[in-house]
Homo-oligomer: A and B are copies of this chain.
Amino acid sequence: MIPKAKGGEDRLIDWLAARIGDGARIGDDAAVLPPGAFAVTVDHQIEGVHFPPGLDPAVVARRLLAVNLSDLAASGAVPRYAFLALAAPAGFDHRRFFTSLLAACRKFGVELAGGDLAKNPDRLSASLTLMGTKAGRRWIERRGARPGHAIWLGGTIGESAAGRRVIERGGVNDGPASVRAAAKRAMRRHLEPRPQLDLGRWLSDQKAGAGLDVSDGLARDLHRLCRASGVGAEIAIESLPLPTRFRDLCAAIAADPLSLALGGGEDYVLLFTLPEGVEPPGAWRIGTITRERKVTMIREGERSPLPDVGWDHL
């Protein structure tokens, strides 16, 4: 008989293949996929950079998938295949990580089709490549914004960045119950973002408009959308959708609400444009695309340039 002394990696891959079930593609040098036109995205999650040290591997796995799914949502794609590169320190609970990842994949209709495992002595680092097929009649791109388009946000902003600060300071343990509840919601929002796949699918069926997901902050990502489309924008600060009790929470953690909303990042909501008169489901209108290539904010009637601030990964 073939000796049983398989390495830990081979044992883990067998365990995974059994859980993925018939037709599991993992384990070969490359996974062969059926023909199709694909949207492909890749994103990192690194311990101490993208999430707090020591976070439950089950949460890390869900977060990794969610931030990638958000990119596919912003492209108008239906998620199909995932490829994982995982590098973990000694003692990392791989099975807890993969049990959570596979459950999350199943929920979103994603097949884990391949990957690579390695050691990383210092910290957990993972990158996921996701491939999706077209959800509706077209792909969504950044360059589709036209003067006169309305600018929309698919959800509230600033909450994830507030959650990151709450985690860094060890929670909000005093003050009114409503603020403590807002702090908990913010932490959950930061750790487990919810990709807007349904909204992306709806956008992919519209005739016109641009879109992206707000990962590096509204200001920076709006600048990117405008640059890609060769247009400008005007947004009304008063119309920005903020979470319940957001100002109270910011006061409790000594943060500026507007800074978090404009530049905090990791909101993972869709920022998109539509021709005037087209009403998206469950979204907030925040401004209008302009021909003049300036990005302007209007606050208490005053107009000023919206600075290109936000998260910079370098």
Binding site for B on A (CB under 8 A): 1-3, 5-10, 12, 27-44, 46, 48-50, 70-72, 74-75, 77, 81, 83-85, 87, 94, 113-123, 125, 127, 129-132, 139, 141-142, 212-213, 216, 220, 223-224, 226-228, 232, 293-295, 305, 307-314
Contact = CB atoms under 8 A, between A and B. Distances in A.
A193 to B, nearest CB: 14
Given A38-B38, A94-B314, A74 B29 contact: yes
Contacts of A29: 41, 70-72, 74-75, 142, 212-213
A202 B305 CA distance: 59
Given A46-B125, A127-B127, 9 more contacts: A32-B75, A33-B39, A35-B35, A40-B114, A41-B83, A48-B121, A49-B121, A122-B123, A129-B129
Task: Give the residue among A10, A33, A141, A232 with the most B Cβ atoms within 10 A.
Answer: A10
Contact of A131 (B40, B118, B305, B312): B40
A166 to B, nearest CB: 22
Nearest to A81: B40
A87 B313 CA distance: 9
A165 B39 CA distance: 42
B308 A6 contact: yes
Kindly report how many copies of this chain are found in the complex they form together.
2
Contacts of A46: 87, 118-120, 125
Nearest to A48: B121
Task: Give the residue among A75, A125, A130, A142 with the most B Cβ atoms within 10 A.
Answer: A125
Given A42-B129, A87-B125, A28 B142 contact: yes
